[in-house]
A and B are shown apart, each in its own frame.
Chain A
Amino acid sequence: MNEKSKILDKEGLGRSLTRIAHEVLEKNKGAEGLCLIGIRNRGAYLAARLGSCIGGIDKKGVPVGILDITLYRDDLTQIGSQPVVHKTEIDFDITDKIVVLVDDVLYSGRTIRAALDALIDFGRPKAIQLAVLVDRGHRELPIRADYVGKNIPTAKDEQVEVRLAETDGVDEVVVVEKSQ
């Protein structure tokens, strides 16, 4: 697996999150009625970090939840590797709230579609917005992000890897050649 280029380093990643936190508060005129829901795996860690950032700016703070979308995927029977189901942890009511979905990389859009299906089963949010750290293009569905950390045009044979201290021991975003 070939690492082609580093897009964000630790500081860059932190700055992106801070900027997104400000944008979220600006667009929604404050933290009132907001909640963050991170999509497992790395989206959940990013949501937690984003929640801290927001809490640092607006003392009100926002509730943060974790969503596992394995059961809503549209490719359950085709994928070669075994999908492992983890817990969804949303212990607040999302009805009438503005939900900001948080994920690491936006690509085909199918993960977000699955997340939308899952969210509807949990309640009726007032609105759903999407925050991603990286948008790498190649959408297969009409999905778009409201908040983007970095836009990275990529080729189909490349892969964008978001590495976080919580899971990978380091904070960075790199582009790699797809492994066989």
Chain B
Amino acid sequence: MKWNRKDLLGLEELSREELELILSTAGSFKEVSSREIKKVPALRGKTVVNLFYEPSTRTRVSFEVAAKRLSADVINIATETSSVKKGETLVDTGRNIEALKADIIVMRHNYSGAAAMLARHLDISVVNAGDGWHEHPTQALLDMFTLKEKLGRLEGINVSIVGDIAHSRVARSNIWGLTKLGARVTVCAPKILIPPEIDKMGVHVTSDINEALSRADAVNVLRMQFERDEQNAFPKQLEYFKNYGITAERLEKAKDDIVVMHPGPINRGIEMSSDVADGANSVILEQVTNGIAVRMAVLFLVAQAQGKTDEPSN
């Protein structure tokens, strides 16, 4: 199977075979991170630019570590301090980076579709590190990689995603990836946070947290963001925790070995209690480790495809 895509914009357009290729390639890269010398020359001489329009530490650092372990050079552009503040358009910024002969742009942007737009205008590779509410493909890939490691397979397993589904790019990417590989997905949220017709993505929908946990092999807990204003946020946070928080009591009614995941950073006491976050079922830190391997695989594959066709891989 060949990988022909110079960009990774989302999981919606990937085939089952392409997803499996990324996961198996990631497995090989995981071994690199366990060596004494955590470096391979695969992307030596290539330049990866992290273009982050939204603040992020964990994803950006994860991509940076991944690129450096492939021997690539990494440049970080945080737009608060860049010429974007002077009004430069996204495409102009992208073209400038291309003119510097960079090879891959890893971009996070607050508008859905921004990565697709940039990829349309550039010849170099674009990897989507999160665009608005749309997709966050590498997060879902590392979630799936972690699940496959823990449970041995993805086919036929039950995964529940809990949180603000309507505004979550992590949820959308996970839904596409998991359903394509045969998992059964349930989404759980208060009604106003369930987007219209999401059942058409092949998921079961519920607003009952106990139902979501009851037969789940894994639960992926999304970040809940309330207003930064402490006074107004607190009662809403308490309410959310009461109805949807993942606590030890709630997990008692779930499977003993249910895998608990979270894309991070965790709001302890809002979407999940501390004891669950640090408990035996949690794989949150493994997700972070696996994130490096998955991102190495993605950077490696898109770098290979440059100069080749842009059609779906065969």
Contacts and interface: CB of A to CB of B under 8 A. Distances in A.
Co-assembled chains A and B: yes
A68 B37 contact: no
Contact of A77 (B25, B27, B304): B304
A123 B36 contact: yes
A118 B297 CA distance: 18
Q: Describe B's contact surface by its main secondary structure.
A: helix
B3 A72 contact: no
A112 to B, nearest CB: 16
A122 B31 contact: no
A68 B35 contact: no
Contact of A82 (B31, B37, B304, B307): B304
Interface in B52-95: 70
Given A121-B35, A122-B36, A81 B304 contact: no
Nearest to A82: B2
B36 A77 contact: no
B300 A82 contact: no
A71 B41 contact: yes
Contacts of B27: 87
B36 A86 contact: no
A121 B40 contact: yes
Contacts of A89: 31
B209 interface: no
A77 B103 CA distance: 12
A89 B27 CA distance: 12
Given A71-B42, A76-B42, A88-B31, A83 B304 contact: yes
Interface residues of B, number: 24
Nearest to B46: A77
Interface in B143-190: none
A160 to B, nearest CB: 26
Nearest to A118: B40
Contacts of A165: none
A21 B92 CA distance: 63
Given A76-B304, A77-B307, A81-B2, A86 B28 contact: yes
Interface string B39-51: 1111000000000
Q: Which 6 A-B pairs have the closest CB atoms?
A: A71-B40, A71-B42, A82-B2, A121-B37, A85-B28, A87-B28
Given A71-B41, A121-B37, 8 more contacts: A70-B42, A71-B70, A72-B42, A85-B28, A85-B297, A86-B28, A87-B28, A122-B36
13 contacts: A68-B28, A70-B42, A72-B40, A72-B42, A77-B303, A82-B3, A84-B25, A88-B28, A117-B41, A121-B35, A121-B37, A121-B40, A122-B35
Interface of B: 1-3, 21, 25, 27-29, 31-32, 35-37, 39-42, 70, 297, 300, 303-304, 306-307
